[in-house]
Amino acid sequence: MKKVVKLLAITALMSPAIYAANTAACVGCHGQNFEKAALGKSKIVKDMTKDEIVKALKGYKDGSYGGAMKGLMKGQVAKLTDKDIEEIAEAHGKK
């Protein structure tokens, strides 16, 4: 039982660190609050809905979405899980 409690505690503490690692690359181009048009070409993420962000990130990942930055974004999202994508969309999409 102690091992389970320790594992749950570690997981809870690591979740913010994992989320931060998943968004660190995003902030470089999209801004700290996702308020920038990355390289002057992208949509402003904070103005997108959660569903739009999920669709875009999954589309970049599978190659079915994107314009000028499609190749760059495919590499950025390649390691994101569906859960990562949902968390990013929940945190940064319009409600």
What's the 3-state SS for 18-50?
A: HHHHHHHHHHHHHCCCCCCCHHHCCCCHHHCEH
Range of 17's domain?
2-92
Mean pLDDT score across all residues of the chain: 82
Domain CATH for 59? 1.10.760
**Which two tokens mark 65?**
């979405």
Q: How confident is the model at residue 86, as a pLDDT?
A: 94
For the chain, how many structural domains are there in total? 1
Which of 61-65, 75-79, 91-95 bottoms out in mean pLDDT, i.e. has the lowest? 91-95
26-58 residue pLDDT tens? 999 999 999 999 989 999 999 999 999 999 999
CB 55 within 8 A of CB 93: no
